[in-house]
Amino acid sequence: MAYTEEELKKELETKEYEYGFYTDIESDTFPKGLSEDIVIAISQKKQEPEWMTEWRLEAFRFWKEMEEPEWANVKYEKPNFQDISYYSAPNKKPKYNSLDEVDPELLDTFKRLGISLDEQKKLAGVAVDIVMDSVSVATTFKKTLAEKGIIFCSISEAIQDHPELVKKYIGTVVPQKDNFYAALNSAVFSDGSFCYIPKGVRCPMELSTYFRINQAGTGQFERTLVIADEGSYVSYLEGCTAPSRDENQLHAAVVELIALDDAEIKYSTVQNWYPGDKEGKGGVFNFVTKRGICEENAKISWTQVETGSAVTWKYPSCVLKGDNSIGEFYSIAVTNNYQQADTGTKMIHLGKNTKSTIISKGISAGQSQNSYRGLVQVNSRAENARNFSQCDSLLMGNRCGAHTFPYIETKNKSAQIEHEATTSKIGEDQIFYCNQRGIDTEKAIALIVNGFSKEVLNKLPMEFAVEAQKLLEISLEGSVG
Amino acid sequence: MLEIKNLHASVGDKKILNGINLQVNPGEVHAIMGPNGSGKSTLASVIAGKEEFEVKKGSIALEGEDLEELAPEERAHKGIFLSFQYPVEIPGVSVTNFMKTAINESRKARGLEDMPANQMLKLIREKSEMLEIDRKFLSRSLNEGFSGGEKKRNEIFQMAMMEPKLAILDETDSGLDIDALRIVANGVNKLRGGENAIIVITHYQRLLEYIVPDFVHVLHDGKIVKSGTKELALELEEKGYDWIKQETVV
């Protein structure tokens, strides 16, 4: 028969994590705990130059003095930072010349993730730098990129091969002591991606990285640095999936974007870390610091689809330093069962005629809590700054929550700031209407959610949009209520 | 086609339908009239399978198949279409996308492939022209910001697209001006004939001037208290419903 609120809720709760599997690959894992010795050991393991080791130690010292922030609208048991192993790398370390050399189990993992490398190679010019448990194991399309002078590699490689660039830019957007998690990341980051687009170059393909937590009890501390030199353009895709696990896993990434004069960076994320089970057990803690700086006429656009993690704390931000620079933030955040998300953005207007746009779509189901937190700040010399913010929340059932915390601070009278917010609920009437047209409940929810999220989905690169749409369907399968 | 026997239905403790008997044969148009609160819309919802209503007694069968165990979408797949009195809004989902999904889901249920895009396009063109629907209208979010008349016209457009065996039009005339009424009625009449059947639920006789029914039934207190031909509708228009109510008491 048809369905009631109660049945819907039940259906919602039976959704299992699709990528819940664990790959047994031999790893090289450090003992648990964090100290100066561990920081030094990580740095040595990666054969880093001394300046890098020092930089990490400096961050560690800041971190020791800092406290975990508590202002976010999330509740969780704080991780014991001494009970985490800070380094884990797949044992078969050498880079592979062909796929045949790769551990078959690893290949199988990729296949189950739907990102088989050979397919990727053939498909639509996407170069994939896969980070699996902290160390890059495969990089493709490097050659094509190299011809344009584009550097796309792991941050460890960049530290070895392009120390001048790393040294110049790392920590300039997110300083070591920016916040608790950023300091932790700066001290112990294991790997991540590095990208440099030379002056005037338009990157010919979408650069894509898949992150993945794979080792029980190891935190992931990714560090990403993207530099778009004057007049260049790059579109960067970051996608995450993680296998299921009982204990909480900590993920504290830092992403820094630098858009020099007239440059444009488009950074898209699909985040699907393990959200925990339907009782709220397990799941990833995702405490991420993402920030970009725009010089004159530059543009940074963040697009994110957040469906995973037990707890999300994430505010991709833009510092609009240069005159006429533009910052954009498009976000879809889905929470289900006991997930909690506190996410949004910061738009810091420093330059004249700077513009920012914020479109946030929050979808809450089950007993989850979904918060938008955004800051629009206009400094005194930022003449004619403009911002438009729109925050929409969609609720399913009556046990979840949607919250909006907009902060607006302006010190310049010429600023124009608009904020719109709506809250709606998927109703039984909407579902019945779809049912009556032959559309079953799951499909109906997918349709309604996709309609709600359309403005943001449209901002994603084509191939990513399809994946994101599927992810929304999976995350909310059978939900509403 | 449709056979309703001694149908009793309630919502919560409230009994709404109290023993409906109705037989609709292929090709027929039945009008169901009656005062407010007589159970007209409930009857439509119960046939469509809305869960809110509990069938206490009796049965509904479509082409000999009992519908009781079928979900609303399964009933839709069997060819039941309900034109809603109050169509809902689905922001961000275009009329076209919605229709595409609806048609393909029904095809899937019948073991058919998705309708090829060009065929779908042809169908949309044909039906939108028939109902004098502007192409731009089709790209708008479903019912969002539609006027009352646009919503109703959109319902009939969907009906035309889906070509149901049994269409139930719940107060389709409300909110329509006379021109729109004529267009909508024209669309309904095109569906008429052959194997299809239509149930028209209405307050007023007005719609029945355009969609001429074969039979008219009067619903009162959840029961069909009088049945007749189209002349009954005229009589009701003249005498009002009190006449029926009194007659029932007697």
Domain count, chain A: 1
Q: Where are the beta strands (DSSP E) in B65-191?
A: 65-66, 80-83, 90-94, 141-142, 166-170
Residue A134: inside a domain, yes or no?
yes
Look at residue A151 and tell me whether its pLDDT is greater than 70: yes
pLDDT bracket for residue A100 (50, 70, 90):
low
pLDDT, position A165? 96
Give the integer Cα–Cα distance in Å for B20 and B17. 7
Residue A106: which residues within 8 A CB-CB, separation 6 or more?
A23, A25, A90, A132, A137
Q: Is the pLDDT of residue A95 over 50?
A: no
Chain A residues inside the 8 Å CB shell of B155 = none
Radius of gyration over alpha carbons of chain B, in Å? Answer: 18
* Element holding B241 (H helix, E strand): none
What distance in Å separates residue B246's CA from the closest CA in chain A? Answer: 36
Contacts of B101 in chain A (CB under 8 A): 439, 443, 447
* Residues of A with Cβ-Cβ distance to B87 under 8 angstroms: 433
Mutating which of B74, B101, B104, B157 best tests the A interface, going by the most A Cβ atoms within 10 A?
Answer: B101
Q: What are phi and psi of A50, to 5 degrees?
A: -60, -40
The residues of chain B scoring below 70 in pLDDT are 247-250
Q: How far is A337 from chain B (nearest CA, A)?
A: 24
Distance (Å, whole) CA A231 – CA A228: 8
Domain at B55, CATH number: 3.40.50.300
Mutant choice from B90, B114, B144, B166 vs A, greatest count of A C-beta within 10 A: B90
Range of the domain at A287: 20-426
Question: Touching check for B90 and chain A: CB below 8 Å?
Answer: yes
Between residues A473 and A312, the one the model is more confident about: A312
Residue A190: which H helix or E strand, with range? none
Measured between alpha carbons, how far is A414 from B165 in angstroms, rounded to an integer?
63
Rounded distance, CA A136 to CA A192, Å? Answer: 8
DSSP symbols for B184-206: HHHHHHHH-STT-EEEEE-SSSH
Instruction: Please state the rounded mean pLDDT for residues A135-154.
Output: 71
> Is the CB of B9 inside 8 Å of chain A's CB atoms?
no
User: Which of A82-86, A207-211, B194-198 has the lowest average pLDDT?
Assistant: A207-211
State the smallest CA–CA distance between residue A360 and chain B in angstroms: 15
How confident is the model over A175-187, as pLDDT tens digits?
A: 999 999 999 999 9
Does the residue A417 lie in any domain?
yes
Q: Is B105 on the interface with A (CB under 8 A)?
A: yes
Taking Cα atoms as reference points, which of B71, B207, B216, B95 lies closest to residue B145? Answer: B95
Let me know how long chain A is.
481
**Cβ-nearest to B76 among A424, A436, A451:** A436
Interface test with A, best of B11, B42, B47, B51 (most A CBs within 10 A): B51
pLDDT at A481 exceeding the cut of 50: no
Say if CB B141 and CB B150 are below 8 A apart: no
Q: Is residue A85 part of a domain?
A: yes
Query: How many domains, in total, are found in chain B?
Result: 1
The pair of structure tokens assigned to A414 is 């010429």
Contact B76 A432 (CB under 8 A): no
Contact yes or no for B161/B103 (Cβ under 8 A): yes
Q: Are B69 and A1 an interchain contact pair (Cβ–Cβ within 8 Å)?
A: yes
CB contact under 8 A, B76 and A428: no
* Residue A133, in any domain of the structure: yes
Determine, for residues B88 and A429 on separate chains, whether the beta-carbon distance falls below 8 Å: yes
Does some domain include residue A130? Answer: yes
Question: Is residue A58 in a domain?
Answer: yes
Per the structure block, which two tokens stand in for A112? 């189950």
pLDDT, tens digit (0-9, with 9 covering 90-100), for A109-133: 455 555 545 443 333 234 445 554 4
Comparing CB atoms, the residue among A427, A438, A454 nearest residue B105 is: A438
A122: helix, coil or strand? helix
Residues of A with CB under 8 A from a CB of B: 1-4, 424, 427-430, 432-441, 443, 447-448, 450-455
Using the predicted structure, report yes or no on whether residue A3 has a pLDDT greater than 50.
Answer: no
Q: Does position A217 have pLDDT exceeding 70, yes or no?
A: no
Alpha-carbon dihedral B87, B93, B95, B101, rounded to 10 degrees: -100
Contact residues on chain A for B46, CB-CB shorter than 8 A: none
Residue at token pair 């010190």: A411
Question: Is B69's CB within 8 Å of A450's CB?
Answer: no
In a domain, A272, yes or no: yes
Residue of A nearest to B90 (CA): A448
Q: What is the least distance, in Å, from the CA of A439 to any CA of chain B?
A: 6
**How far apart, in Å, are the Cα atoms of A226 and each of A166, A229, A464, B109?**
10, 10, 19, 48
pLDDT over 60 (residue A253): yes
Name the one residue in this structure whose structure tokens are 């060819």: B79
* Residue A322, both tokens: 């240069």
B121 vs A312, B127, B141, B186, CA distance in Å?
A: 43, 10, 18, 22
User: Which residue of chain A is at minimal alpha-carbon distance from B88?
Assistant: A430
Please report the pLDDT score of residue A17 as a whole number. Answer: 44
pLDDT band at residue A267 using 50, 70 and 90 as cut-offs? very high
pLDDT digits (tens, 9 = 90+) for B28-77: 999 999 988 899 999 999 999 999 999 999 999 999 999 999 999 999 99
Interface with A, mutate which of B46, B55, B93 (most A CBs under 10 A)? B93
In three-state secondary structure terms, B31 is strand
Residue A169 falls inside a structural domain = yes
Half-sphere exposure of B133 (CA within 13 A, CB side): 30
User: Which positions in chain B touch A454 (Cβ < 8 Å)?
Assistant: 92
| Residue A393 reports pLDDT greater than 90 | yes
Contacts of B70 in chain A (CB under 8 A): 1
Q: Give A432's contacts in chain B (Cβ within 8 Å).
A: 50-51, 72
**pLDDT (0 to 100) of residue A138:** 43
Residue B193 corresponds to which amino acid?
G
Task: For residues A49 and B24, give the distance between their C-alpha atoms in angstroms, rounded to a whole number.
Answer: 86
Cβ <8 Å between A430 and B70: no
Nearest CA-CA distance, residue A124 and chain B, Å: 24
d(CA B223, CA B115): 42
Contacts of A425 in chain B (CB under 8 A): none
Predicted confidence (pLDDT) per residue in A444-466, tens digit: 988 999 899 988 988 887 767 77
Residue A87: what pLDDT?
A: 76
Tens digits of residue pLDDT in A20-73: 444 444 556 777 888 898 899 889 988 999 999 999 999 999 999 999 888 888
Percent of chain A whose predicted confidence (pLDDT) is above 90: 49
Average predicted confidence (pLDDT) for chain A = 81
Q: Which domain holds residue B13?
A: 2-249
Contact A46, A188 (CB under 8 A): no
